Structure 1
Amino acid sequence: MFAGQGRFTCKGMKHRIPLHRIPVLNKWLDRPPRVAVVRLSGVISTSGRATLNDATIGPVIERAFAKGAPKAVALLINSPGGSPVQSALIAARISRLAKKHSLPVYAFVEDVAASGGYWLACAAEEIHVDAASIVGSIGVISSSFGFDRLIESHGIERRVYTSGDSKSQLDPFKPENPEDIERLKLLQSDIHDAFKDHVRESRGTRLGDDPALFTGAYWTGKRALDLGLVDGIGHLVPVMQSIYGDKVRFTRFGVKRSVFARFGLEVAQAALSGAQAGVQERSHWARFGL
């Protein structure tokens, strides 16, 4: 076992050997610092072809913190948002592991960290962006369609039977009910409050006091820096080199694809089931011109 001032000893040995006299240990002690890199990319959802959720990315994050004694963990974020619950689960896991392993976490935004994507970024101690990144959208949105007049014009009658007056609320085939909208607004308000609390706790005194911060508006990385939403303009490699030196090494962690996916052997059923999710994913990105 290790003992004394930089010396090595074991049971039965009369003398302590300086660590620098042991070649293998010397090489291990002098190795360059390492940063674990986790990519968080895609719409945050429990379903879809290219989505983020705690069930799939959670084990990856766990490995990044635990494997190889990293000096820090860096998050590469490119997400337009999605599920608030999955955003909270992933962010909470990152914060919990950072505390457990006493490791700093840095977030690096690529094209966009909006809505749930920014929720993820706030799990880091520092957030760095490109000057043209899209950042913010601290709000809650629900969207649907109304088909009641369409089916009426085609002589179609909607028949729904429920036990419980609220089981069919927000039915897109029925006219809007003001009471349903009021309930939805209350739900959105609760989720929005949780989002705002998360941002305030993460950013602290760095956060500006612009009234537009929590309106759902979003900005470029340069403007986000002025508002206190981020800490700097910079990319992964140069920022990490400025902190840990030019010899810093990066170990990248990501979700492993199945054999079928790697060789392009997806079955037709999976492709068809993912078509609708694909349209929804595109709508998330399209909101930010991407």
Structure 2
Amino acid sequence: MSDPLPPGASPDSRNLPPAASRDGLRPGWERDTMERLMFATLAEQRAARRWKMFRTFLWLAFFVFLVWGAMYRGGSKADKSLPHTAVIEIKGEIAEGADASAEFVVAAMRAAFEDDGAKGIVLLINSPGGSPVQAGIIWDEIRRLKAKYNNKPVYAVVEESCASAAYYIASATDKIYVDKASIVGSIGVLMDGFGFTGIMDKVGVERRLLTAGENKGFLDPFSPMSDKQRAFAQQMLEQIHKQFIDAVKTGRGKRLKDSPELFSGLFWTGQQAVEMGLADQTANLDYVAREVIKAEELVDYTRRENVAERLVKKFGAAMGEGAVRAIRAVPAIH
């Protein structure tokens, strides 16, 4: 005799497991689901930690590379203890922050002068000029180092051009060697810009410039320049020009030919420069090392900003710009 069924139960329900439900879910499914979720969360956290460690390692390797690149400067692998000619390149614009800056050129010259194996120093020049301040610093340092190191010879060898501030530097050396087609000279000073006052008057644009000091904005291209301001600027240029001329006369001395155009800002070919006393001889780097310094082995002492240093500067600038943007994005409290 079968047991009586509970109210509302079907006869087939007696064959089901005691804890089974109508939806077919097995006992303990809630716990299994929670365990799976916990394991999945732990696996995700482990993967996130591994990725974070990997990124940290990549950044560390990147900064190690930057530091190595900033400290290491390529150059000749020749043995500096042996007799050699020290070469320092002055190429491109002579300006603060450039490869031909006073900072880099002076550092290279000091290293070359201090090296007993360097029997002579060649400034290999290919520059249209640049800052008279940077050139003046280099000129002064050449004279100082020569006096300190028993007049170790320093020569300038010109490739395509040695003009303006580049010639300012070259005039401090013992001799200047050029190619017959080199461009040499341009002993002058300039200050250039644009003036847009006429155009602004025609189109009806008013320039609103507020200054404290009547001459504070006299180089503003949108404001007229008075005769007094023009005379002041010209006087300043004349003074810098005289400094340039005095440096050239001190360096070249009696070798300069008397010519009214010598300091007019004109430039000449290497052949003409030799005739005028601006240069001494037509010759190249190999000739000077072999025949003049008598040390044919060349060692490059040039200091250059390498790729790593450029990356550091760009990275620093980007970080600074990001910080400024972040500061600007912070809401002000009034």
TM-score range, shorter chain: 0.7 to 0.9
Corresponding position: 1:76 with 2:124: yes
Question: Which of 63, 66, 71 lines up with 2:114 in the alignment?
Answer: 66
User: Using a 3 Å threshold, how does the CA distance of structure 1 residues 263 and 188 change in structure 2: closer, same or farther?
Assistant: closer
Name the residue aligned to 1:41. Answer: 91
User: Using a 3 Å threshold, how does the CA distance of structure 1 residues 188 and 242 change in structure 2: closer, same or farther?
Assistant: same
Name the residue aligned to 1:16. Answer: none
Corresponding position: 1:222 with 2:284: no
- Any residues of structure 2 matched to 1:120-269 within 5 Å, and which? 120-245=169-294, 248-260=296-308
8 Å contact kept, 2:185–2:268: yes
8 Å contact kept, 2:104–2:304: no
8 Å contact kept, 1:114–1:218: yes
Q: Aligned partner of 1:63: which letter?
A: A
8 Å contact kept, 1:134–1:221: yes
Displacement of 1:68: 4.2
Displacement of 1:180: 1.1
Q: Aligned partner of 1:205: which letter?
A: K
8 Å contact kept, 1:43–1:79: yes
Alignment TM-score, normalising by the size of structure 1: 0.75
8 Å contact kept, 1:40–1:52: yes
Partner-residue secondary structure (3-state), 1:128: strand
| Aligned counterparts of 2:172 and 2:311: Cα–Cα separation in 1 | 35
User: Using a 3 Å threshold, how does the CA distance of structure 1 residues 56 and 171 change in structure 2: closer, same or farther?
Assistant: same
Q: Aligned partner of 1:67: which letter?
A: D
Q: Aligned partner of 2:86: which letter?
A: A
Name the residue aligned to 2:158. Answer: 109
8 Å contact kept, 2:99–2:305: no
| Aligned counterparts of 1:55 and 1:264: Cα–Cα separation in 2 | 18
8 Å contact kept, 2:179–2:270: yes
Displacement of 1:99: 1.5
| Aligned counterparts of 2:216 and 2:207: Cα–Cα separation in 1 | 15
1:104-127, Cα deviation, whole Å (9 max, x unpaired): 101001111111010011110000
8 Å contact kept, 1:76–1:108: yes
| Aligned counterparts of 2:303 and 2:235: Cα–Cα separation in 1 | 36
Partner-residue secondary structure (3-state), 2:217: coil
1:175-201, Cα deviation, whole Å (9 max, x unpaired): 232111100110011111111111111
Displacement of 1:56: 3.0
| Aligned counterparts of 2:316 and 2:271: Cα–Cα separation in 1 | 44
Percent identical among aligned pairs is 38
Q: CA RMSD in A?
A: 2.5
Q: Aligned partner of 1:36: which letter?
A: A
Alignment TM-score, normalising by the size of structure 2: 0.66
Partner-residue secondary structure (3-state), 1:52: coil
8 Å contact kept, 2:159–2:179: yes
| Aligned counterparts of 1:142 and 1:206: Cα–Cα separation in 2 | 30
